[in-house]
Structure 1
Amino acid sequence: MDTQAAVLDGDINTLWQDALEAYRMETKSDLLGVDFADDIRDCAGVEDVMNVLQENMEDFKAFRSEYSKWGKVRAVLKRVVGVVLVLNDVAGDAAAASGAPGVSVIFVGIGVLLTATKGVSDRYESLQELFSQVSEYLLRLSTRMEFKAGLSSAARKNALDILMHLLHVLALATKLLKKNRFMHYMQVVSGNKDMKDALERLDRLTATETRVTVMETFSTTQQILKEVQTMRSGSLFVIPSTHLVLIQCISPDGQGHTETLERIENSLSVMTTVQVQQLDIEIQKWLAPPDASENHRRVTASRCEGTGTWMLNSPAFMEWRERDASSFWLHGKPGSGKSVLCSSVIDMLTSMPSNTVAYYYFDFRDESKQHADGLLRSLVHQLSSASDECLSLHREFYSSYGKKGGPSLTLLTDHLRCLAGALSNPVYLVLDAVDESPHDARRTEVLPMLRKLTSLHLDHVRVLLASRPEGDIRKCLEDECTVSMDLQDAEPHERDMKSYIALVLTSYLDFGDWPRRLVDLACDTLQRKANGMFRWVSLQLDSLRKCLPKHVEKTLDSLPETLGETYRRMLDAIDRTCIADVLRILACITYSQVPMSAYELAEIFAIDFDTDTGVPTVNAEHRVSDPASRLQLLCSGFVIVSENNISFSHLSVKNYLR
Structure 2
Amino acid sequence: MSANGVDVLGLVSQAQSVNAPYSMFNNVRGQQINNYYNKDTEKERRELADWLTPLNFRQTQSNIYGNRREGTGDWVLDNEVFKEWQTGCAKTMWCPGIPGTGKTVLASYIINFLTEKYNTPDVAVAYIYCNYKEQSTQTVYDLVASLLKQLVQDHSSTFTRVASQYQSYRQQGYRPTIQQVHNTLMSEIKQFQQVFVVVDALDEITESDNKRYDLLNKLRSLGCSLLVTSREMDSIRKALRNVPYMHIRAHDDDIRRYIEGRILPGTLLYELINGDPPLREEIIECIIKRAGGM
Asked if these proteins are the same fold (TM beyond 0.5), I'd say: yes
8 Å CA contact 2:93, 2:228 repeated in 1: yes
How far residue 506 of structure 1 moved from its aligned partner, in angstroms, is 5.1
CA–CA distance in 2 between the matches of 1:502 and 1:322?
34
Q: Quote the offset at 1:496 in angstroms.
A: 1.6
Structure 1: which 4+ aligned runs deviate by more than 4 Å?
Answer: 265-278
Tell me how far 1:486 sits from its aligned partner: 1.3
Does the CA contact (< 8 Å) of 1:376 and 1:412 recur in 2? yes
* Per-residue deviation, residues 606-638 of structure 1 (Å, max 9, x unmatched): xxxxxxxxxxxxxxxxxxxxxxxxxxxxxxxxx
Among residues 202, 222, 230, which one is paired with 1:434 in the alignment? 202
Q: Deviations 1:393-423 (Å, cap 9, x if unpaired)?
A: 2112312433352232211111111111112
Q: CA deviation at 1:524?
A: 2.8
What is the identity, as a one-letter code, of the residue corresponding to 1:395? Answer: A
Following superposition, the deviation at residue 531 of structure 1 comes to 5.3
> Structure 1 residue 318: deviation in Å?
0.8
Counterpart of 1:280 (choices 42, 45, 48) is: 45
1:421 aligned residue (190, 194, 203): 190
1:456–1:366 distance in 2 versus 1, CA, 3 Å: closer
Distance in 1, matches of 2:291 and 2:57, equals 29
Specify the SS of the correspondent of 1:351: helix
- After TM superposition, give the deviation of residue 290 of structure 1 in Å: 0.5
Question: After superposition, where does 1:284-433 map in structure 2 within 5 Å?
Answer: 284-324=49-89, 326-352=91-117, 353-354=119-120, 355-367=123-135, 370-402=138-170, 403=172, 405-424=174-193, 426-433=194-201
Count of residue pairs brought into register by the alignment: 259
Judge conservation of contact 1:370–1:436 (CA < 8 Å) in 2.
Answer: no
Where does residue 452 of structure 1 map in the other structure? 218
Match of 1:528 in 2: 289
Structure-2 separation of matches of 1:370 and 1:281? 20
Evaluate the alpha carbon distance shift between residue 414 and residue 500 of structure 1 in structure 2; reply closer, same or farther with a 3 A threshold: same
Cα deviation for residue 269 of structure 1 reads 7.6
Whole-Å Cα distance in 1 between the matches of residues 109 and 35 of structure 2? 41
SS of 1:431's equivalent in the other structure is strand
Map Cα deviations across residues 352-384 of structure 1 (whole Å, 9 max, x no partner): 223421111112333455332221121101112
Deviations 1:88-108 (A, max 9, x none): xxxxxxxxxxxxxxxxxxxxx
What are the residue-to-residue correspondences of 1:17-166 with 2, within 5 Å?
none
2: CA distance between counterparts of 1:398 and 1:269? Answer: 25
Q: Which residue of 1 aligns with 2:245?
A: 484
Q: CA offset at residue 324 of structure 1? A: 4.4
Contact 2:189 2:222 in 1 (8 A): no
**1:575-594 → structure 2 map (5 Å cutoff):** none
Deviations 1:304-358 (A, max 9, x none): 1000000122111111101246211111111210011011111111112234211
1:444, distance to aligned residue in structure 2 (A): 1.8
What's 2:280 paired with? 519
| Cα shift at 1:274 | 5.7
Contact map agreement 1:384 1:419 (CA 8 A) in 2: no
Residue by residue over 1:285-306, the C-alpha shift from the partner in whole angstroms, topping out at 9 and shown as x without a partner, is 3212301012112211321100
Distance change (3 Å), C-alpha of 1:345 and 1:369: farther
Partner amino acid, structure 1, of 2:134: D
Deviations 1:464-489 (A, max 9, x none): 1111112222221233x3x211124x
Q: Give the conservation status (yes or no) of the 8 Å contact 1:327–1:463.
A: yes
The one-letter code matched in structure 2 to 1:357 is V
Please say if residues 389 and 422 of structure 1, whose CA atoms lie closer than 8 Å, have aligned partners that are also in contact.
no
Q: Distance in 1 between matches of 2:55 and 2:86?
A: 26
Partner of residue 258, structure 2: 500
The CA distance in 1 between the partners of 2:184 and 2:228, in whole Å, is 21
Corresponding residue of 2:228: 465
Q: Distance in 2 between matches of 1:344 and 1:269?
A: 37
Matching residue's letter, 1:496: D
In 2, the alpha carbon distance for the partners of 1:369 and 1:507 equals 42
Query: One-letter code of the match for 2:66?
Result: A
Residue 92 of structure 2 contacts residue 220 of structure 2 at CA under 8 Å; is this kept in 1?
A: yes
Kindly provide the CA deviation profile for residues 221-272 of structure 1, in whole angstroms up to 9, marking residues without a partner as x.
xxxxxxxxxxxxxxxxxxxxxxxxxxxxxxxxxxxxxxxxx9xx97988776
* Shift of residue 438, structure 1, vs aligned partner: 2.6
Is the 1:289–1:377 contact (alpha carbons within 8 Å) kept by the matching residues of 2?
A: no
Q: Which has the higher contact order (CA 8 A, sep 6+)?
A: 2
The superposition leaves residues 503-541 of structure 1 with CA deviations (integer Å, 9 ceiling, x where unpaired) of: 4235553233524443333223322333545xxxxxxxx
TM-score normalised to the size of structure 2?
0.76
Contact (CA 8 Å) 1:287, 1:377: kept in 2 or not? yes
1:118-150 per-residue CA deviation (whole Å, 9 max, x = no partner) reads xxxxxxxxxxxxxxxxxxxxxxxxxxxxxxxxx
* Structure number with higher helix proportion: 1
Q: Which amino acid aligns with 1:288?
A: T
Letter in 1 for 2:257: S
SS at match of 1:464: strand
Shift of 1:450: 1.7
Q: Which structure has the greater CA radius of gyration?
A: 1
Pair 1:313–1:364, CA change in 2 (3 A): same
C-alpha contact (below 8 Å) 2:125/2:196 kept by paired residues: yes
Aligned amino acid, residue 109 of structure 2 = S
The unaligned stretches of length 5 or more in structure 1 are 1-261, 534-658
Within 1, Cα distance between the matches of 2:225 and 2:215?
A: 15
Letter of the structure 2 residue corresponding to residue 449 of structure 1: L
Q: Distance in 1 between matches of 2:84 and 2:54?
A: 31
The gaps in structure 2 that reach 5 residues or longer are 1-25
Q: CA RMSD in A?
A: 2.8
